[in-house]
Structure 1
Amino acid sequence: MTTPAPVDDKAIEKALAHHASHQAEYLAELKKLVRIPSVSFEGFDRQEVRRSAEATCDLMRRKGLQNVQMLEMPGAHPYAYGEWTQAKGRPTLLLYAHHDVQPTGEKEKWNQPDPFEPVERDGRLFARGAADDKAGILVHIAAIDSWLQAHGSLPVNVKMIVEGEEEAGSGSLPAFLKKHRDLLQADAIVLTDTANFDTGLPSITTALRGIVTVQVEVKALKQPVHSGMWGGPVPDPTMALCKILARLVNEDGSINLPGIYEKVRPLTAEEKKSLAALPTSDDLFRRQAGMLPGTKLLGGRPPWEMNWRQPSLAVNAIQASSRKDARNIICDSAWARVGIRTVPDMDVKEVREKLIAAVKRDPPWGVTVEVTPEADGGWWYTKGDAPAFKAARKALRDGYGKEPVSIGCGG
Structure 2
Amino acid sequence: MSAVQEYIESNKEKFKEELFEILRIPSISTSSAHKQHVGKAADFLVDQLESLDLDRVTRFKTDGNPIVYGELTTDPEKPTVLVYGHYDVQPPDPEDLWDTPPFEPTVRNGDIYARGASDDKGQSFTHVKALESYIKSGTDFPVNIKYIFEGEEEVGSPNLVPFIKEHRELLECDMVLISDTAMFAEDTPSITYGLRGLAYMEVEVIGPNRDLHSGVYGGAVDNPANVLSEMIAQLRDEDGRIQIPGFYDAVKPLTEKEREAYRNLPFDEEEYKDKLGLKALNGEKGYSTLERASARPTLDVNGLWSGYQGEGAKTVLPSKAGAKISMRLVPDQDPKEIAKLFTEHIQSIAPETVTVEVTEHHGGHPSITDLSFYGLKAAGKAFEEVYQKEPLFAREGGSIPIVADFQKVLGAQSILMGFGLNSDAIHSPNEKFALKDFYRGIKTSAKFFELLPEYSE
2:178 corresponds, among 191, 194, 202, to 191
Q: Deviations over 1:330-357 (max 9, x none)?
A: 1111111111000011122221111111
Segment of structure 1 superposing worse, 23-32 or 37-46: 37-46
1:96 corresponds, among 51, 70, 84, to 84
Q: Deviations over 1:43-63 (max 9, x none)?
A: 553332222212221222224
Aligned length in residues: 397
Residue in structure 1 matched with residue 289 of structure 2 by the alignment: 303
Residue in structure 2 matched with residue 246 of structure 1 by the alignment: 233
The answer to whether residue 251 in structure 2 is matched with residue 264 in structure 1 is yes
RMSD of aligned Cα (Å): 1.9
1:331 corresponds, among 294, 318, 325, to 318
What secondary structure is seen at the aligned counterpart in 2 of 1:287?
helix
- How do residues 37-186 of structure 1 correspond to structure 2 at under 5 angstroms? 37-41=26-30, 45-74=34-63, 76-87=64-75, 89-112=77-100, 114-186=101-173
Seen in structure 2, the aligned counterparts of structure 1 residues 48 and 322 have a Cα distance that, compared at 3 Å, is farther
What secondary structure is seen at the aligned counterpart in 2 of 1:45?
helix
- How do residues 7-26 of structure 1 correspond to structure 2 at under 5 angstroms? 13-26=2-15
CA contact (8 A) 1:78 1:163 kept: yes
CA contact (8 A) 2:303 2:324 kept: yes
TM-score, normalising length from structure 2? 0.82
Deviation for aligned residue 1:408:
1.0
TM-score, normalising length from structure 1? 0.91
CA contact (8 A) 1:34 1:129 kept: yes
Q: Distance in 1 between matches of 2:136 and 2:391?
A: 29
What secondary structure is seen at the aligned counterpart in 2 of 1:232?
coil
Q: Distance in 2 between matches of 1:321 and 1:153?
A: 64
CA contact (8 A) 1:313 1:340 kept: yes
Q: Distance in 2 between matches of 1:294 and 1:407?
A: 24
1:353 corresponds, among 340, 361, 370, to 340
- How do residues 198-347 of structure 1 correspond to structure 2 at under 5 angstroms? 198-288=185-275, 290-294=276-280, 296=282, 298-321=284-307, 323-324=309-310, 327-347=314-334
Q: Distance in 2 between matches of 1:296 and 1:214?
A: 23
CA contact (8 A) 1:274 1:405 kept: no
CA contact (8 A) 2:283 2:292 kept: no
What secondary structure is seen at the aligned counterpart in 2 of 1:151?
coil
Instruction: Tell me which of the two structures has the higher relative contact order, counting C-alpha pairs closer than 8 angstroms and 6 or more residues apart.
Output: 2
What secondary structure is seen at the aligned counterpart in 2 of 1:305?
helix
Deviation for aligned residue 1:383:
2.2
Deviation for aligned residue 1:137:
2.5
Percent identity at matched positions?
Answer: 35
The answer to whether residue 62 in structure 2 is matched with residue 36 in structure 1 is no
CA contact (8 A) 2:56 2:71 kept: yes
Deviation for aligned residue 1:299:
3.6
CA contact (8 A) 1:282 1:302 kept: no
What secondary structure is seen at the aligned counterpart in 1 of 2:162?
helix
CA contact (8 A) 2:124 2:180 kept: no
Deviation for aligned residue 1:185:
1.1
Q: Deviations over 1:284-328 (max 9, x none)?
A: 33234x142245455432211111110011111111135335622
Residue in structure 2 matched with residue 4 of structure 1 by the alignment: none
